Chain A
Amino acid sequence: MGINAKLAKSVKSEYAVLLVLLLMCIVIATTTRQFAEMQNIFNIIRRTATTGIIALGMTFVIATGGIDLSVGGQVNLISCIGAMILAKKQDVVVVVLAMLIIGIFIGMLNGLMISYLHLTPFMVTLAMMNITTGLAFFWTTGKTLFDIPEKFGFLGIGTIGSIPIAAAIFIVLSIIAIFIFNKFAFGRRVLAVGGNSQGAWYAGINVKSTILMSYIISGLCSAIASVLLMSRLMSASPSMGSGMEMDAIAAVVVGGNSLAGGNGFIVGAVAGALIMEVITNWMNLVSVDPFLRNVIKGIIILVALIVDMLRRGKQTNS
């Protein structure tokens, strides 16, 4: 294929989101001096890691045709519980493990109610968002917890060589997620359930356990993100995760995954998370009016949806 044809093909494919990200970075780097500075880039990467990891889990849930609005609340609850345990028992490993288990547990509750009780994902996870955030506020009495030992900061702020650990963890998890969707039988089952859950059932797939697993993965990812966030900020507050569910969903959709399910495009979700974070960073650097920031974020999401719709329109037969 000639270079023009190749370019045209990649623009029309789902990988176009990477081109968008690249273009965006180039434009911003040339117009805003501080963007390309090492410290700034590292900050972007660290921040993207937390929403990005949640977006990875969210990709699984959305791929099965569901949604998980509780991830932000999970971050609130899990980090506050983690901080409270850390204040009593200074063992980092134990605390991290406990946080992961709580995430898995909350994900399991979501998944059981959705797949076995047949309740709608939107409502179940909305309720769970309220419950988790509420519990976080209740147990911390609304206060931010700062009693976090130095050594905990390693994961969020530390680096291996010149790469932030948070980024390394994010990259490794992303690669695992890509592998799962492409090479694992579980990945096929997720895509089948999201594409046509009845057809998947008729093919002998255990639809309920597949959906359950996707929410457990989302919970686990929320827990990992909590660890990194708490480690980076060296504090835990009952509202620090609020809103992350929207950012994660935006990242997954901007990346080209259909909300209706059936797509497991991890690269897109990662690119989507980066796009959202780069835009936020730029708005910071050029001091965009704080009240306009959400407006701009919202417009980006709409543009991404329209572009994705146009791209899909070209692929499906009419």
Chain B
Amino acid sequence: MAAKIEKLELSHVYKSFDNINALTDIGFVLNKGHVCGLLGENGAGKSTLMKILNGVLQPDKGEIRLNGEPIRFSSPSKAKELGIEMVYQELNMLPNLSVMENIYISQLHNNRAGYIRWKALRLETIEWIEKLKVDLDPDIHVGKLKVAHQQIVAIIRALATNCSLLILDEPTSALTAKDTQTLLDLLRRLKELDYIIIFISHKLDEVLQISDEVVVIRNGEKVGMFPTCELSQNQLAELIAGRKLEKKFPKVKYPIGDVILDVQNVTVPGLLEDISFTLCKGKILGFSGLLGSGKTEVAKLLFGVFGGNYSGKIYLNSKLYKPANPKKAVKAGIGLIPENRAKEGLITSQNVFTNIIIASLSLFSTIGIIRGKNSNETADSFIKSLHIKCNDQSSLIRSLSGGNQQKVVLAKWLAARSQIIIFDEPTRGIDVGAKVEVYNLMNDLVEKGVGVILMSSENDEIYHMSDNICILKNGRVTAMVSAEDITLEKMDSLM
């Protein structure tokens, strides 16, 4: 087992792929007991840098030193041996196994005969639970835990392999405010225990809360390493984007039009209770609430995911609307940009063209045959107008960044000429600059007369971009107000 890492040094690290420079002259020093935030736009080079630290990639030039000794990570297992571990966004838990099995899965204690020493396993798990002061039951199946707790299991799993440098990739993107604080408390404990932590995130307020310093990367180059006490969120955002950011929330007011959607006393057993709201043209309706409060359920209800399993009435342009399935919703002109983009929003094995026209095939076909020129031109025009960064419409979705994939999902509904588009957590995991792009796109939609509904767990996003706000708690509406009549603090209290 390698010695504990007390100091990590990178100097003059370069990496390029096929003549494209991913990293240029990166260098910084991290000491034990420090949390360092790693910030940068999508594509800036953060994951390349992490893959180098992980042993997945080798740098072209430059040196990495652990405790003063130059090290070459010849493979991911070598990096693990030396004490470097990473917790990914996707966690990769084994839901049907217990907490302690997940933690020790790669090193199930066994004697020569191959038997597992359950007693020892449980004792060591409990040791970790007590050392880190977390609230976990070693025997419970991980699948039954909520995401925040699964993440803690993932972290302990990383720590249990004799790790002393922990890298966390977007750990809080799916957590509520409360769970985020629990996680940050855990990180503070790890600081006390002298771990080195690298924290990758787009949530600047959290990064500033927990980090001692931040390293900002832009276009593969280090912008700088700054102690967090000297920085504000705005300064940080500008350093990341490299330019003075115009308003973080480009809210524009448009003339109010007719009521397009009128939801009356809708109840979905077990999920939503007596929900009512209206959506007018020209106004963005925002839904606020904690994870599980019912925001996504409202979106899914309107989109037909629950079938006929609801009571109440929904009127679309004054006509009764029965969302029996997504096909009906699409036909009625409703589009959903889902929270779970990969599973529900895109066909990742297909290309950009297919994903753009997939919801409007009948609009682009005559007697079942797709009109090639018409559909290709439409796809191209959306790639242009939404600034979707891809080689061309035949690029596979897999090759696009998260933000650009999101734009393809939007293009799909624009191609289908949706009259209402529901955005469910649209800016999650997307960098600051790309978020503004999404908000501007929403404004464009409103200007064109498309109804926009926004679901988000980021309160300031809802507060600044919505005209009307509906706050949900445990499936019920706790407030239905205009944005001008409420404050961020009041919103918090109603959630």
Chain B contact patch, size range? 35 or more
A8 to B377, CA, bound (A): 31
| Contact present for B350 and A262 (CB under 8 Å) | yes
Within 8 A of A (CB), among B9-59: none
> Which residues 278-319 in B have Cβ within 8 Å of A in the complex?
303, 305
Chain A nearest CB from B258 CB (Å) reads 25
A185 within 8 A of B: yes
Interchain CB contact under 8 A, B368 and A199? no
Flag if A192 contacts B354 (CB, 8 Å). yes
Stretch at the interface among B130-138, B181-189, B340-348: B340-348
B327→A199 contact, CB < 8 A = no
Chain A 235-269 interface 0/1 with B at a Cβ cutoff of 8 Å (1 = within)? 00000000000000000000000000010000000
A219 nearest CB across to chain B (Å): 20
Instruction: Name which residue of chain A comes closest to B338, CB basis.
Output: A202
- Knowing A195-B349, A196-B343 are in contact, say whether A185-B326 is a contact too (CB < 8 A): no
Asked whether B350 lies within 8 Å of A316 as measured between CB atoms, the reply is: no
By a CB distance below 8 angstroms, the chain B residues around A315 are 396
Cβ contacts under 8 Å, A198 to chain B: 343-344
Q: Which of A72-80, A203-211, A225-233 contacts B (4 or more CB under 8 A)?
A: A203-211
Cβ–Cβ contact A195 & B368, under 8 A: no
Tell me the bound Cα distance from A64 to B383 in angstroms: 28
Establish whether residues A203 and B368, one from each chain, have CB atoms under 8 Å apart when the complex forms: no
CA distance A315 to B349 in the complex (A): 11
Indicate with 1 or 0, residue by residue over B316-333, a CB within 8 angstroms of chain A CB atoms. Answer: 000000000111011100
A-B contacts, 26 listed (Cβ < 8 Å): A183-B369, A183-B370, A184-B365, A184-B368, A185-B361, A185-B362, A185-B365, A185-B369, A186-B368, A188-B357, A188-B370, A189-B361, A192-B350, A192-B354, A195-B348, A196-B343, A196-B348, A196-B349, A198-B343, A202-B305, A203-B326, A203-B359, A204-B359, A262-B347, A315-B396, A316-B398
Q: Is A136 an interface residue (CB 8 A)?
A: no
**Cβ-defined partner of A184 (8 Å) among B343, B344, B348, B370:** B370
In the complex, A127 Cα to B274 Cα: how many Å? 47
Task: Establish whether residues A203 and B358, one from each chain, have CB atoms under 8 Å apart when the complex forms.
Answer: yes
CB distance from A16 to the nearest CB of B (A): 19
Chain A residues numbered 175-195 whose CB sits less than 8 Å from any CB in chain B: 183-186, 188-189, 191-192, 195
Q: Are A317 and B399 in contact (CB under 8 A)?
A: yes
| Interchain CB contact (< 8 A) of B349 among A184, A204, A262 | A262
* Partner of A200 from B358, B364, B369, B372 at Cβ < 8 Å: B358
Residues on the B chain within 8 Å of A204, using CB:
326-327, 329-331, 359, 416
Chain B residues near A (Cβ < 8 Å) = 303, 305, 325-327, 329-331, 336, 338, 343-350, 354, 357-359, 361-362, 364-365, 368-370, 372, 396, 398-399, 412, 416
- B399 contact set on A, CB distance < 8 A: 317
Q: Give Cα A313 to B395, complex, Å.
A: 16
Report the Cα distance A191→B396, complex, angstroms. 14
A202-B336 in contact given A196-B347, A196-B349, A262-B350 (Cβ < 8 Å):
yes
CA distance A203 to B370 in the complex (A): 17
**In the complex, A122 has a CB within 8 A of chain B:** no
- Cα of A201 to Cα of B357 in the assembled complex, Å: 14
Q: Is the CB of B398 within 8 A of A199?
A: no
Output the nearest chain B residue to A194 by Cβ-Cβ distance: B349
**B348 & A206 in contact (Cβ 8 Å cutoff):** no
- Partner of B327 from the list A183, A205, A317 (CB cut-off 8 Å) is A205
Which 4 interchain pairs have the tightest Cβ spacing? Answer: A204-B330, A185-B361, A195-B349, A195-B347
**B286 shortest CB reach to chain A, Å:** 22
Most buried by A among B364, B368, B396: B368
